[in-house]
Amino acid sequence: MGTGKGYRHLSFITDTRGIKSAIGEMRGLGHPQQPVLNKDYKHADGGPNMDEQWFTDTIAQKVASHPMNSMEYPFDGEKIFDSPLVGFVKGDDPLLVDYRRIIGPHHFTPAAIMAWQASRNGVPAPAASDLSVVSFILPITGMTREENAAMSEWPSERWAQTRLLGEIFSQAMVREIVSYLMGRGVLAIAPDVTPLFRKQRYPAVGWASPWSHRHIAYAAGLGTFGMHDFLITEKGAAHRCGSFIVNLKLQPNRSRPANIHGGCLQHNGTKCLKCATKCPVGAIGEKGHDKESCYHRVSKTLAYCNKNYHIFIYGCGLCSVGVPCESAVPVKKQ
């Protein structure tokens, strides 16, 4: 990619990363090949103990030092994400099965998507009780949050880069970890980079995916939902999140709030709705988040980001910045 006025020229055609990302998200196509399980790997003494601390440290180290966690022109070298939050869910947690009722029957269970990975590698499908889900939150930097908070109609340029380059980094980071595990005989999978993953409109819930990182993060105790449907974490609602499944027994490290809206002021008796005032199309109100109106608005940002930032991506995030829950939980614990 060049710099100056011609950078990412004609991005509707030339920004192949954005085009591939969109096709992968909507059609489950174009992802790198799944890593192959090394069934002959011998676990030698002295190797890393792949426990909860190992996953927490590995993700934190990658966020801190990975070259892909970086903006491009005209923000060369700026970090996309700050230090992460990491949580764990047992593969047989009843909530993960109940998501097929709450979200819809299209939502994967860890056991079902891992069975697909096991079949590909010619090994028996692990029991749900032998699986764990690793969930992480990638907080968006203060500079990007501030820039987007100053916008009223469309996403800022840093936000647009975060939406595309941040997602590419997140998936690359997970792919590296999954490949490392598979190379050492541990079955693992990232559901959102398989051919089975695709976003589409479902009758009961509208636009949705078969693996919701936000709902997995809630299950891991990393946050609760706001009026805008973003997850409000201890580092706020302005973030990206991700998750992957491993054939290891990891212990949850956080308590899951019983109140799914526990961090939202409006849901807890304090009049707020600041997120509603930030939405340029009124997709948030006292009754909650209108996903269909939101989708139509976000889809229009694709043309705006291509024309103004020369990047093939859609996004918005205006309701997650310039609000009390942007970078912290505004509801004080009782």
Average pLDDT value for residue range 220-224: 98
Task: Give CA–CA dist 108/147, Å, rounded.
Answer: 36
Please check the confidence at residue 334 and state whether its pLDDT lies above 50: no
Convert the pLDDT of each residue in 14-47 to its tens digit: 777 877 777 767 666 677 889 999 999 877 666 7
Which contiguous run of DSSP H or E holds residue 161?
A: helix 157-161
Q: What DSSP character marks residue 59?
A: H
Average pLDDT value for residue range 284-304: 92
Q: State which amino acid sits at residue 329.
A: V
Convert the pLDDT of each residue in 110-130 to its tens digit: 999 999 999 999 999 999 999
Convert the pLDDT of each residue in 172-219 to its tens digit: 999 999 999 999 999 999 999 998 888 777 776 666 789 999 999 999
pLDDT at residue number 109: 98
pTM, whole model, 2 decimals? 0.93
Task: Give CA–CA dist 294/151, Å, rounded.
Answer: 17
Other CB atoms closer than 10 Å to residue 242's CB: what's the count? Answer: 22
Closest CA to 79 of 13, 138, 5: 138
Please check the confidence at residue 91 and state whether its pLDDT lies above 70: yes
Closest CA to 171 of 21, 8, 1, 15: 21
Average pLDDT, the chain: 92
Task: Give CA–CA dist 138/173, Å, rounded.
Answer: 12
Q: State which amino acid sits at residue 137.
A: I
